[in-house]
């Protein structure tokens, strides 16, 4: 079991702690970044990269909520509601391994692809690619529409029939025959597409969290939700935790929901450390308390709730 950090101060005191604010460059509170339309844009040059090389095998970090063999014997972990949650997560998939992913999900429910990547990305000849700077935050500070326009322009700049190489694999050359975005790929396979513009290496903004809540509360039918970011770790797990909390806050503690989503993925110690930082635990706790107070209607936004603390 992952041990939850104990806080000796109230959440409100944590939010205004001078020492934490000196370490965390966020203005709304101590654990949520600014909305993307007010953050300073990162103008650092971005480069075309290949997202992963296992594009013809199963995406790494795959897990699903009804496959509990790895955690079923953990008697200390409350698994109530998990098996029927109908969610999965992984790293970025490709055109070639999307059929393998759907086979592994193995559901008759409609599948919704939750793309959690703010960074510009798409596919060349079915291979997942993106435009990346040092911290993979080249689109930080742009509105959602600005990201989509920039992404389209970057994908359109890739010339078909002209050989190219990748910044992270300079000796690997391919000749683009087809270039498309993720929405085009998944909708061609009858998968519904949802985009949450979450910045890599940071906690999700209030804006992106509220967008997610709006999507979930307006779903009209039972569906299977597949979450992914680039690596299938930080953003993917965070939003899987959020969804689990929205559905199971009445019967399962925040601690158990957090732990079971992390343990379900069988992460290594470095990934666990990332996902259980003080800021992330504070975010999980705050979102859980928000769910207990405002579900199932969620008429008050998470942003309004945070400001009221």
Q: What domains can be seen in the chain, in order of their start residue?
A: 11-308 (3.90.190.10)
More confidently predicted of 72 and 190: 190
Scanning 59-161, the segments in alpha helix (DSSP H) are 98-105, 144-156
Decide if 51 contacts 61 (C-beta within 8 A).
no
pLDDT for position 32: 52
Confidence band, pLDDT 50/70/90 cuts, at residue 28: very low
The values of phi and psi at residue 160, to 5°, are: -70, 140
Predicted confidence band at 55 (pLDDT cuts at 50, 70, 90)?
confident
- Across the chain, mean pLDDT equals 89
Which residues does residue 113 pair with via DSSP β-bridges, in sequence order? Answer: 193, 226
Cβ atoms of 149 and 96 closer than 8 Å: no
Q: What is the value of pTM for the model shown?
A: 0.88
The per-residue pLDDT for 13 is 33
Q: Report the candidate in 23, 15, 26, 40 with the shortest Cα–Cα distance to residue 307.
A: 15
For the chain, give the percent of residues with pLDDT over 90: 81
pLDDT in tens, 61-76: 999 999 998 898 888 9
- pLDDT of amino acid 43: 52
Give 138-169 pLDDT, tens digit per residue: 999 999 999 999 999 999 999 999 999 999 99
3-state secondary structure of 193: strand
DSSP class of 261: H
- How far apart CA 215 and CA 221 sit, in angstroms, is 12
Residue-wise pLDDT tens digits, 266-288: 999 999 999 999 999 999 999 99
Alpha-carbon span 64 to 224, nearest angstrom: 10
């Amino acid at each position: 079991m992952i041990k939850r950090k104990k806080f000796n101060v109230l959440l409100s005191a944590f939010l205004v702690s001078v020492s934490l604010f000196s370490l965390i460059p966020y203005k709304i509170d101590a654990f949520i970044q600014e909305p993307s339309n007010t953050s300073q844009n990162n103008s650092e040059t971005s480069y075309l990269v290949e997202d992963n090389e296992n594009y013809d095998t199963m995406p790494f970090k795959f897990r699903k909520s009804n496959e509990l063999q790895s955690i079923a014997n953990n008697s200390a972990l409350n698994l109530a509601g998990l098996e029927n949650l109908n969610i999965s997560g992984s790293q970025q998939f490709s055109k070639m391994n999307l059929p393998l992913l759907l086979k592994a999900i193995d559901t008759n429910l409609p599948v919704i692809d939750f793309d959690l990547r703010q960074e510009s990305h798409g596919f060349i000849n079915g291979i997942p690619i993106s435009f990346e700077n040092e911290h993979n935050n080249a689109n930080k500070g742009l509105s959602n529409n600005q990201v989509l326009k920039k992404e389209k322009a970057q994908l359109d700049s890739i010339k078909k029939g002209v050989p190219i190489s990748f910044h992270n694999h300079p000796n690997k050359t391919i000749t683009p025959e087809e270039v498309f975005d993720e929405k085009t790929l998944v909708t061609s396979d009858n998968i519904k597409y949802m985009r949450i513009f979450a910045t890599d290496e940071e906690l999700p903004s209030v804006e992106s969290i509220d967008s997610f809540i709006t999507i979930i509360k307006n779903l009209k039918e039972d569906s299977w939700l597949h979450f992914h970011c680039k690596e299938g770790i930080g953003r993917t797990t965070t939003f899987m935790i959020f969804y689990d909390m929205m559905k199971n806050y009445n019967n399962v503690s925040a601690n158990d929901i957090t732990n079971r989503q992390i343990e379900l993925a069988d992460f290594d110690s470095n990934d666990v450390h990332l996902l259980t930082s003080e800021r992330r635990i504070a975010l999980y706790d705050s979102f859980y308390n928000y769910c207990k107070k405002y579900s199932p209607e969620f008429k008050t936004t998470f942003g309004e709730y945070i400001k009221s603390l």
